[in-house]
């Protein structure tokens, strides 16, 4: 049976990525060696990371003022690297918005290193909306926001004009729609949603903001280290980056970010249309802040949970359960999820309404 | 043609690991999903990391006083995490030995955070020996050493009795021979030599030494975070850890560390026997400190380089070039390299002597 994979991440990737990865694990580029056993310094390995970096630049129209690096440790290590690289040693201050679990963790790390001004929070309504109307002070070292909140199903639809460096955690919606990279000073994203398998992080950083904090930054935590070494400061995660390269090639071949953005809008409209139409369900996020990546919804009548769960599982749908902080259901519709899978879910929701409504 | 892979890392792994990885990339455990697309929170993914941790414990006889964690960022991030976790905030001091390029990098990171006493160095002879006869002061927070120096082909044959916590970077010889883990407070190793593909790091840490520095440690850099979360504090690198699990299963099935140690001794004896017998070559490391993992040697007559290089390349040998800091050749003979590959190299060296000697 075909599996419809709504996992919140690591998540569905295109079948051609699986096919090409399996081939490379056995025989990389017809070299007779597995991609798992070659030195990261070999010319054909170097091509992998160079291609992956170039694909990020091409797909996101990264200007020459910025550089793209691959590191490890997930967004969680970026929460640490951002203040190390941008927050002044003496009198360091930063502004954050608190829009969910990951934003909270980012704030926690910054607070260890300086003063943090939380400009706005949606904690009062379990993070079901994106706060607006705040102003960013001009006396902080940077402003940090989270573009998409997987757990709560909210997404920023626009970004503020910031008087200070603008930093954004785009882990769960990078490359889902066009963004103007020139507006940002740092964009980072764990690869395991729209970019590839778990095990690497992409950071896009404006070069001229670095080296100004007065901090003696550990080498691995210093963006300048990775820029200077072309992301090969130490052994990079070859399998993970190869997976990203394959996935970004797939995205480029199908028309890049503008094309995938159209598909993502169509999927989200289909999904939210059904949530709003169907009397059995309620969406949990404020409509204007709904995420195109993660649709969160609950049953109006929780006593029907066993029946609904049985129906979607029998249809081959997997990983639809909501996060424990929200409950209910979460349909994650990352780039590689075909609209056909959303249609299967919508059909099940309609059938559920017919049977139990 | 069969490839004899002498790469210094990432390096050769068993064919059955490649076969099983390729299968899992297409269909993980007959679940119908690729291992690249499943949530790290799924029960069958949880089993992967739990098994990998348990295999490290079993293979190395890790006592209950210690815990095993998987993180990312390579040994280079461990160079940072060790002082964060073990060096006191006020008046912190540590002792290191300087035995090669990686030891130098470890020292550099520790120096950012406190006083570092370099007890002994082999820099005077381009790191071609392991310093001995130094004594470890009892007023430092820990002593750090590097068990095997890949670039220079040297290896510690015994470990000192340390009056302070003993920390060892075993990246390039972990699980190659038995070690008494109970003697160590921290052992760490990038996976990409004897344990699996690049992309994860194993740390074995004695639990009761943690939490005593007075430092406010960033979450990702805190060993206690990863211990508390069973290495799932954030999304762990699923492909990389699955590769480690498969490789450690292979090692366990063939008889574990005692069995592989016998094979490694046999390979090293064959290799060094030929280096010493053959009049065309000179080993670069002091005999008593020679590494069983990486044999470094040079031509006595450099003008014959093109001829020798042609011969080994034609025999299917790959990645035999020495590191630029030493020159010549480096035969890396990690756990998965069969003795047959060493024999092919030895035969070529003999043939080279016959033709040009």
Question: What is the pLDDT, as a whole number, of residue A1?
Answer: 76
Average pLDDT over residues A81-102: 98
Question: What is the pLDDT, as a whole number, of residue A208?
Answer: 97
**Are B238 and A199 inside 8 Å of each other by CB?**
yes
Report the C-alpha gap between B84 and B213 in whole angstroms.
8
Q: For chains A and B, count residue pairs whose Cβ atoms are closer than 8 Å.
A: 188
Q: Which of A11, A219, A240 has its CB closest to that of B199?
A: A240
Q: Which of A133, A130, A137 is nearest to A98 (CA)?
A: A130
Residue B1 has pLDDT above 80, yes or no: no
Structure tokens at B286: 């002091």
Contacts of A230 (CB under 8 A, 6+ apart): A49, A50, A53
Question: What is the pLDDT, as a whole number, of residue B56?
Answer: 98
Q: pLDDT of A138-179, one tens digit each?
A: 999 999 999 999 999 999 999 999 999 999 999 999 999 999
As a whole-number percent, the residues of chain A with pLDDT over 70 amount to 100
Which residue, chain included where needed, has tokens 């006889």? B61
Contact (CB, 8 A) for A100 and A154:
yes
Q: pLDDT of A260-310, one tens digit each?
A: 999 999 999 999 999 999 999 999 999 999 999 999 999 999 999 999 999
A334: nearest CA in chain B? B37
For chain A, what is the mean pLDDT?
97
Residue B169 designated active-site: yes
Question: What is the pLDDT, as a whole number, of residue A2?
Answer: 85
Contacts of A347 (CB under 8 A, 6+ apart): A315
Annotated binding site of B for pyridoxal 5'-phosphate: 75-76, 102, 150, 169, 192, 234-235
Q: Which residues of B touch A7 (CB under 8 A)?
A: 37-39
Q: Which residues of B touch A25 (CB under 8 A)?
A: 18, 21-22, 25
For residue B40, the distance in angstroms to the closest alpha carbon of chain A comes to 7
Q: Which residues of B touch A233 (CB under 8 A)?
A: 76
Residue B178 has pLDDT above 90, yes or no: yes
B196: nearest CA in chain A? A36
**Are B237 and A236 inside 8 Å of each other by CB?**
no
**Are A72 and B237 inside 8 Å of each other by CB?**
yes
Q: Is residue B10 part of a domain?
A: no
Q: Are strands A143-146 and A166-169 parallel, antiparallel or unpaired?
A: parallel
Domain count, chain B: 2
Q: Is residue B149 part of a domain?
A: yes
Residues B157 and B285 in one domain: no
Residue A46 has pLDDT above 90, yes or no: yes
Residue B19 has pLDDT above 90, yes or no: yes
Question: What is the pLDDT, as a whole number, of residue B335?
Answer: 98
Task: Place A135 in a pLDDT band, splitting at 50, 70 and 90.
Answer: very high
Helix (H, G, I), strand (E, B) or coil at B66: strand
Residues B245 and B263 in one domain: no
Task: Place B280 in a pLDDT band, splitting at 50, 70 and 90.
Answer: very high
Residues A159 and A224 in one domain: yes
Burial class (CB in 10 A: 0-12, 13-18, 19+), B188: buried
Q: Report the CATH number at residue B352.
A: 3.90.1150.10
Q: Report the CATH number at residue B230.
A: 3.40.640.10
Residues A235 and A324 in one domain: no
CA terminus-to-terminus distance, chain A: 28
Residue B300 lies in domain: 256-356
**Are A34 and B13 inside 8 Å of each other by CB?**
yes
Task: Place A83 in a pLDDT band, splitting at 50, 70 and 90.
Answer: very high
Report the C-alpha gap between B281 and B304 in whole angstroms.
11
Question: What is the pLDDT, as a whole number, of residue A356?
Answer: 97
Residues B224 and B311 in one domain: no
Torsion sign over Cα B181, B187, B192, B197:
positive
Domain boundary among A253, A287, A317: A253
Q: pLDDT of B151-173, one tens digit each?
A: 999 999 999 999 999 999 999 99
Question: What is the pLDDT, as a whole number, of residue B305?
Answer: 98
- Going from the C-alpha of A124 to that of each of A121, A129, A200, B1, B192, the distances in angstroms are 7, 10, 33, 66, 46
CB-based burial, A172-196: b 16+ in 10 Å, e otherwise: bbbbbbebebeebbbbbbbbbbbbb
Task: Place B2 in a pLDDT band, splitting at 50, 70 and 90.
Answer: confident
For residue A108, the distance in angstroms to the closest alpha carbon of chain B comes to 9
Q: Which of A21, A38, A112 has its CB closest to that of B10?
A: A38
Residues B69 and B211 in one domain: yes
For chain B, what is the mean pLDDT?
97
For residue A222, the distance in angstroms to the closest alpha carbon of chain B comes to 11
ipTM: 0.97
Residues B230 and B306 in one domain: no
Q: pLDDT of B183-231, one tens digit each?
A: 999 999 999 999 999 999 999 999 999 999 999 999 999 999 999 999 9
């Amino acid at each position: 049976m075909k599996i419809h994979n709504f996992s919140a991440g690591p998540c569905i990737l295109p079948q051609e990525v699986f096919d090409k990865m399996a081939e490379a694990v056995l025989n990389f580029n017809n070299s007779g060696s597995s991609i798992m056993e070659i030195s990261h310094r070999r010319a054909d390995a170097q091509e992998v990371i160079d291609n992956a970096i170039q694909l990020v630049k091409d797909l996101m129209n990264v200007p020459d003022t910025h550089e793209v690096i691959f590191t490890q440790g997930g967004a969680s290590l970026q929460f640490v690297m951002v203040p190390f690289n941008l927050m002044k040693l003496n009198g360091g201050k930063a502004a954050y918005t608190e829009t969910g679990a990951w934003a909270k963790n980012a704030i926690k790390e910054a607070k260890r290193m300086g003063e943090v001004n939380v400009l706005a929070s949606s904690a009062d309504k379990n993070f079901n909306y994106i706060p607006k109307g705040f102003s960013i002070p001009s006396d902080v070292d940077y402003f940090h926001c989270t573009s998409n909140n997987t757990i709560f199903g909210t997404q920023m639809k626009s970004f503020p004009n910031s008087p200070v460096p603008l930093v954004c955690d785009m882990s769960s919606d990078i490359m889902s729609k066009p963004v103007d990279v020139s507006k940002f000073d740092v964009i980072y994203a764990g690869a395991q949603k729209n970019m590839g398998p778990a095990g690497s992080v992409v950071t896009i950083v404006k070069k001229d903001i670095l080296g100004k904090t007065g901090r003696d930054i550990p080498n691995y935590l210093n963006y300048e280290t990775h820029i200077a070494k072309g992301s090969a400061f130490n052994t990079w995660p070859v399998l993970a980056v190869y997976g990203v390269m394959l996935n970004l090639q797939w995205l480029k071949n199908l028309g890049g970010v503008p094309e995938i953005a159209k598909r993502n809008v169509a999927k989200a409209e289909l999904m939210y249309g059904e949530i709003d139409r169907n009397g059995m369900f309620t969406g949990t996020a404020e409509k204007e802040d709904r995420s195109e990546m993660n649709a969160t919804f609950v049953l109006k009548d929780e006593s029907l949970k066993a029946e609904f769960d049985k129906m979607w599982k029998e249809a081959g749908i997997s990983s639809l359960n909501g996060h424990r902080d929200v409950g209910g259901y979460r349909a994650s519709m990352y780039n590689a999820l075909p609209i056909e899978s959303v249609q299967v879910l919508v059909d099940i929701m309609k059938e559920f309404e017919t049977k139990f409504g």
